[in-house]
């Protein structure tokens, strides 16, 4: 056997063996619930001098035209004997961007917000939409579309490998997150292309173009892996063979319709079942092997990913009327228990810690009693556009990454903020006081027109450099991996003093 093949095989076996211990190997973590269950003790406050990333991987764009909104995932394992570190880790990220190669004509048919559709009949608006999408596809021919899977060293940020290929136009960049299981990385690209990549070296294992109509749709669902099945939404529900990408079954195109939400696994009586939001307002439970539907409920879960806590199902809607809902699941049905109507969000998913569930939406944070659905506390947060952001948890703390990093105790007694920091253009994470001191804002504000100067400086250094909206950080072994506008950074949040006790 050639040396290169033997080396790749060894890497594949090594990665396969470590997945069971992975902290964050897929969207929302190893259990797809937003919780780093085996986290070490973490710091409860920022140092007075702030926190500098242990590494920064630059040149990784994000957003509508330069990379999309995929979230990083991480696998970790014990380091080999004699290594300087306790663990080894790999960070994976999927990006989708466009590159202009000729002049772009001016648009005649821009997207119309609801207030600008006044006076148009449904038929007129439908005709306008056809013209708008035709124009978008024509303009798209002025760009090359590239999708990339990156693998970074989790301790240094250095690139291990990069898998780059030609992609397709979609209204928004592909923004799914990789799923890494048994040495294989699964991702859904543009144009209904499902892909599997060797997680050790980035080589393509298989790529499948799914059947179905495609125009300029975009898919953001992440795979869930159960046995030999890779299950996900791409317009509707699909199950592929993990070995070769063959379609083993697919759901009804109308009854299992969905694009953004991701399926989760529910363990019951020694078996695993797939639970997923479909059609914008329903949640279904299916047998993984056959796709047979066991039950369907009206959940109003929208674009969020459902959360499983034991036999409890939690869904989160995009209006307060739909709210946060709890259902008790059996193999025959899921019975509604309660609805909390104090918050809502277009795509955020809740997180459960102990006896409480935490949600964000509409500039609110809320802690809800898991058994009763009653609010334990609610607070208002001063963020500009807090939507699509999913909370995560580790070490009995909840983290909210938007415009900076907010961390609070996962307590039902009261809102207890521990960390409230902003991130500057270098990735430095610090409190408002530390930032003001570093930028000398107090002195600048005393100068003529000082308030305006200070605000301009603050916005240039701080205001535009926080976590990418819609993207969720990843936790692994006490390290927090955050995607910024043009980079990925890693913070060491381990509490060494607490660990030493």
Give a three-class secondary structure readout of 442-477: HHHHCCCCHHHHHHHHHHHHHHCCCCCCCCCCEEEC
Joined tokens for residue 179: 């799923």
Top pLDDT among 80 and 187 is at: 187
Residue that has been written with the tokens 């909370």 in this structure: 391
Top pLDDT among 365 and 16 is at: 365
The domain total for the chain is 1
- The pLDDT assigned to 47 comes to 96
The number of residues making up the chain comes to: 501
Neighbours of 4 (CB within 10 A): 9
Tens digits of per-residue pLDDT, 327-336? 999 999 999 9
Question: Residue 484 belongs to what domain range?
Answer: 3-104+142-264+388-427+465-500
What's the rounded Cα separation, in Å, for the pair 452 and 6?
62
Nearest C-alpha neighbor of 109 from the set 126, 122, 121: 126
Neighbours of 141 (CB within 10 A): 11
Residue that has been written with the tokens 């449904």 in this structure: 122
> In this structure, are residues 209 and 219 in contact, taking their beta carbons and an 8 Å threshold?
no
Is residue 218 pLDDT above 60, yes or no?
yes
Tens digits of per-residue pLDDT, 159-172? 999 999 998 877 77
Alpha-carbon dihedral sign for residues 375, 376, 381, 383: negative
Task: For residue 137, give the H/E element and its range.
Answer: helix 122-140
Nearest 5°: the CA angle 409, 317, 66 is: 80
- Contacts (Cβ under 8 Å, ≥6 apart) of 224: 26, 32, 179, 230, 231, 232, 262, 263, 264, 265, 274
* Residue 377 counted as domain residue: no
Task: For residue 225, give the H/E element and its range.
Answer: strand 224-226
* Residue 281 counted as domain residue: no
Q: Predicted confidence band at 128 (pLDDT cuts at 50, 70, 90)?
A: very high
Nearest C-alpha neighbor of 381 from the set 396, 397, 400: 400
Tens digits of per-residue pLDDT, 1-34? 343 333 344 444 444 444 444 489 999 999 999 9
Nearest C-alpha neighbor of 221 from the set 162, 261, 264: 261
* Residue 401 counted as domain residue: yes
* Residue 132 counted as domain residue: no
Residue that has been written with the tokens 């199902």 in this structure: 313
- Contacts (Cβ under 8 Å, ≥6 apart) of 146: 96, 97, 98, 99, 164, 165, 166, 167
Tens digits of per-residue pLDDT, 276-305? 999 989 999 999 999 999 999 999 999 899
Average pLDDT, the chain: 90
Q: Predicted confidence band at 65 (pLDDT cuts at 50, 70, 90)?
A: confident
- Contacts (Cβ under 8 Å, ≥6 apart) of 188: 174, 176, 194, 195, 219, 221, 222, 223, 232, 234
Tens digits of per-residue pLDDT, 146-204? 999 999 999 999 999 999 999 887 777 778 899 999 999 999 988 888 999 999 999 99
* Residue 187 counted as domain residue: yes
Nearest 5°: the CA angle 281, 181, 479 is: 90
* Residue 164 counted as domain residue: yes
Task: Output the pTM of the full model.
Answer: 0.89
What's the rounded Cα separation, in Å, for the pair 357 and 312?
12
* Residue 77 counted as domain residue: yes
- Tell me the C-alpha to C-alpha distance, in Å, between residue 141 and each of 62, 137, 285, 455: 21, 7, 41, 40
Is residue 463 pLDDT above 90, yes or no?
no
CATH classification of the domain holding 239: 2.40.128.630
* Residue 356 counted as domain residue: no
Task: Please tell me the least confidently modeled range out of 85-99, 365-379, 397-411, 473-487.
Answer: 85-99
> In this structure, are residues 352 and 33 in contact, taking their beta carbons and an 8 Å threshold?
yes
What's the rounded Cα separation, in Å, for the pair 299 and 435?
44
Exposure b/e, 446-475, CB count within 10 A at least 16 = b: eeeeeeeebeeebeebbbebbbbbbbbbbb
- The pLDDT assigned to 14 comes to 42
Residue 276, judged by CB atoms within 10 A of its CB (0-12, 13-18, 19+), counts as buried
Q: Predicted confidence band at 44 (pLDDT cuts at 50, 70, 90)?
A: very high
Top pLDDT among 243 and 463 is at: 243
């Amino acid at each position: 056997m050639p040396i290169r093949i033997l080396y790749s095989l060894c890497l594949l076996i090594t990665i396969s063996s470590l997945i069971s211990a992975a902290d964050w190997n897929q969207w929302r973590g190893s259990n797809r619930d937003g919780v780093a269950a085996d986290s070490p003790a973490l710091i409860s406050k920022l140092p007075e001098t702030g926190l500098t990333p242990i590494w920064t991987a630059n040149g990784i764009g994000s957003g509508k035209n330069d990379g999309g909104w995929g979230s990083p995932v991480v696998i970790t394992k014990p380091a080999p004997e004699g290594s300087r570190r306790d663990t080894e880790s790999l960070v994976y990220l999927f990006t989708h961007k466009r590159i202009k190669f000729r002049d772009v004509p001016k648009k005649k048919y821009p997207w119309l917000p609801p207030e600008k559709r006044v006076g148009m009949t449904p038929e007129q608006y439908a005709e306008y939409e056809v013209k708008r999408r035709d124009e978008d596809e024509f303009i798209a021919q002025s760009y090359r579309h590239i999708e990339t899977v990156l693998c970074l060293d989790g301790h240094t940020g250095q690139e291990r490998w990069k898998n780059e290929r030609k992609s397709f136009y979609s209204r928004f960049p592909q923004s799914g997150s990789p799923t890494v299981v048994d040495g294989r990385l699964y991702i859904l690209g543009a144009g209904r292309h499902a892909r599997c990549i060797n997680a050790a070296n980035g080589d393509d294992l298989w790529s499948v173009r799914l059947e179905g109509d495609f125009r300029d749709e975009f898919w953001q669902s992440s795979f869930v892996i159960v046995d030999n099945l890779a299950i996900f939404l791409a317009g509707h529900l699909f199950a592929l063979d993990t070995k070769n990408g063959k379609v083993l079954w697919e759901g009804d195109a109308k009854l299992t319709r969905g694009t953004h939400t991701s399926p989760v696994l529910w363990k019951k009586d020694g078996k695993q079942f797939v639970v997923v939001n479909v059609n914008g307002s329903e949640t279904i439970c299916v047998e993984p092997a056959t796709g047979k539907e066991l039950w369907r409920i009206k959940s109003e879960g929208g674009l969020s990913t459902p959360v499983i806590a034991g036999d409890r199902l939690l869904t989160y809607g995009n209006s307060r009327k739909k709210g946060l809902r709890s259902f008790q699941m059996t193999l025959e049905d899921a019975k509604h228990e309660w609805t909390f109507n104090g918050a809502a969000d277009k795509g955020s998913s809740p997180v459960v810690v102990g006896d409480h569930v935490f949600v964000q939406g509409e500039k609110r944070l809320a802690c809800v009693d898991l058994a009763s659905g009653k609010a334990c506390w609610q607070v208002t947060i001063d963020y500009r556009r807090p939507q699509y952001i999913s909370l995560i948890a580790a070490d009995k703390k909840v983290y909210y990454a938007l415009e900076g990093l907010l961390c609070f105790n996962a307590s039902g007694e009261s809102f207890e903020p521990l960390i409230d920091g902003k991130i500057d253009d270098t990735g430095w994470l610090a409190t408002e006081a530390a930032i003001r001191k570093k930028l000398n804002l107090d002195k600048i504000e005393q100068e003529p027109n000082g308030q305006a100067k200070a605000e301009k400086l603050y916005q240039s250094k701080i205001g535009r450099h926080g976590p990418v909206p819609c993207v969720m950080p990843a936790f692994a072994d006490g390290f927090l991996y955050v995607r910024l506008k043009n980079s990925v950074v890693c913070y060491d949040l381990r509490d060494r003093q607490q660990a030493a006790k």
